[in-house]
Amino acid sequence: MEEKIKENSLSGTALKRLACLSMLLDHIGASCIYGGLFPDGLMPPRWYWLYRILRWAGRLAFPIYCFLLVEGFLHTRNVKKYMGRMLVFALVSELPFDWAFYRIPFYWGHQNVYFTLLLGLLGMACLRHFSGSDGGRTLLGTALALGCALIAEALQTDYSAVGVGLILVLYMVRSSRKLQCLWGALLVCYELPAPLAFVPVWFYNGERGFCPQWAKWAFYLFYPVHLTVLAAVTNLLLG
């Protein structure tokens, strides 16, 4: 039985690949179809259903990324460096994010998802740093973590406070995969079919999988690079 479970399980690298594919499909729909071909939202039926299918497929990405962020936080050797990488890629990604979805170099009304993940990391760090002697949550740690969610809402980061809240909940129930999947599915049920993201999460085997150093950086770079390509297609070819 143990061997069968191992064969059917997913590594962290496999989850990252799935999340990247899901995100790419979502962004093709949002940028190229909606932003490029039909910016007024008036689509012929066949285009509308293609758009909807791409966006539905994209609902899996963010919950998986949030789960992987929690795993990364629990296993990283240096949280400050982890946050530093998130901040660098958040800043690098902002211009292609705005160009891809808003067709201008700088749009201050919506910030990319790396800022949400960064604030989620900061919130988890607050919960852990200001935990009680028994490892439980304290009022100060909880207040600071909630403050991170409020900052995300104020900055209008992608998924904003809800996104940071999902990260914090997945962290607080980290000792139980069942609770992570149940709470995670409940928190994203407003956006169908996002709860299905926790099906592959359930089969996560707790292992990183084969991921050489170049692949690690490729996963980080995938977000700004694919946004840059989609922005160019949307604005230069379809615009």
pLDDT of residue 232: 96
- Give per-residue pLDDT as tens, 71-89: 999 999 999 999 999 999 9
Q: Which of 97, 235, 82 is nearest to 156 (CA)?
A: 97
pLDDT of residue 239: 67
pLDDT of residue 137: 83
Q: How does residue 7 score in pLDDT terms, banded at 50, 70 and 90? A: low
Q: Which of 3, 24, 13, 30 is nearest to 208 (CA)?
A: 13
- Give per-residue pLDDT as tens, 108-141: 999 999 999 999 999 999 999 998 777 778 899 9
Q: Which ranges constitute the DSSP H helices of 28-173?
A: 45-58, 61-75, 79-102, 113-129, 139-155, 160-172
Q: How does residue 5 score in pLDDT terms, banded at 50, 70 and 90? A: very low
Q: How does residue 236 score in pLDDT terms, banded at 50, 70 and 90? A: very high
Query: Which residues lie across from 157 on neighbouring strands?
Result: 111
